[in-house]
Structure 1
């Protein structure tokens, strides 16, 4: 019975991993840099963009990094047409949690502009009481995003749970002293997520709903 449920966005609520990978590879190609592997890009999903680019392109100059940043944003928003819909059952889960008077929040590797854009496209902003983006706090896995959400919403760590698809989400929650649930819809598999002592790892949002809102039989 958690008071606050905090969601990662990409790979947790939105099926956007393929779009992120293809956009990053296209940006690298445009900037004439070595194109990163699919696994390489997946492993940085959830980190802030500057931190991600440092890992993927360690030899890039400042001007190349700036160009990559702009090109990636262009590709993701306009240049790439890989679909990035909400996962099936995302809306019904959010509605059920809100109807059950849970506080909902987002802690994402997206920048604020990117989160507002997908909030608008999916008409989901009204579900969330607060959100933190990668340009408003230290990058995952630092716990700052989660700690500031707890402070804003006046919630104790033991009253909250973090839902995410990557090791970065699990490490962040662990560092903040918050329970965590892994979900295998996005980047990392059950084996990797289980390294961080989650209370559970689920394979679907329906399974997550059953965990967070168990049906009480009378």
Structure 2
């Protein structure tokens, strides 16, 4: 097993159990904009993509006015209306602590906006674990490899010494494009069969199962 120097995590559905809140907020936005309300599976299929392109895919629209309205409706629901909790997955703090103690460089590549990630870090007191991060505000949306390429450039670590961890095919695709190893988690929004199609080094069912892969010795 490879001893990775740089470990890059997706956020929603990988470290934070936020899928239910994302679904609820997207449904609230649809209701507010008087468009058909998507079901949980449909919303799950676009989690991981940056918000604006995700909305356009989910609602099959290129109408900028509708996209703007859904975008603002989603943000308002997330910040002000919806109270669905977003805990870290069990074992996350322990894993991050151990990885940092072993001098691993940790990063986040997420479809969240910068303010959203900063808010999540503040609420969970986890920001100090990460050397760097890229969000929808600084890079092209997944499945583009732009986020990963920026992180590699900033850290000076090569793709062969890094691994991307995520719960969606978008996470797998972005790493696959640049020959970076990828680790899939089955407890997020995309099922194991879809993730397996992108040849991850493994598919884990819990956060704790990552440990022997990320810390092989």
Gaps of 5+ in 1: none
- Counterpart-to-counterpart distance in 2, 1:108 and 1:38: 20
Structure 2 length as normaliser, TM-score? 0.97
Correspondence for 1:156 among 140, 158, 176: 158
TM superposition shift of 1:16: 0.2
Large movers: runs of 4+ above 6 Å: none
Residue 77 of structure 1 is aligned with which of 63, 76, 79?
79
The alpha-carbon deviation at position 59 of structure 1 amounts to: 3.4
Cα offset, 1:109, TM superposition: 0.5
Equivalent in the alignment of 1:128 = 130
Q: How does 1:1-218 map to 2 (within 5 A)?
A: 1-59=3-61, 61-214=63-216, 216=217
> TM-score when scaled to structure 1?
0.96
CA contact (8 A) 2:24 2:82 kept: yes
Deviation at 1:61, TM superposition (A): 2.7
Q: CA deviation at 1:201?
A: 0.5
Q: How many corresponding residue pairs?
A: 215
1:213 CA displacement: 1.4
- Whether contact under 8 Å (2:61, 2:67) holds in the other structure is no
Aligned equivalents of 1:209 and 1:146: distance in 2?
22
- Cα distance in structure 2, aligned partners of 1:59 and 1:137: 22
Deviation of the 1:55 alpha carbon: 0.4
Q: How far off is 1:42 after superposition?
A: 0.3
Q: The residue matched to 1:84 in structure 2 has which SS?
A: coil
* Unaligned ranges ≥5, structure 2: none
* Structure 1 residue 60 displacement after superposition: 6.0
3-state SS, counterpart of residue 88 of structure 1: coil
User: What secondary structure sits across from 1:196 in the alignment?
Assistant: coil
CA distance in 2, matches of 1:89, 1:160: 22
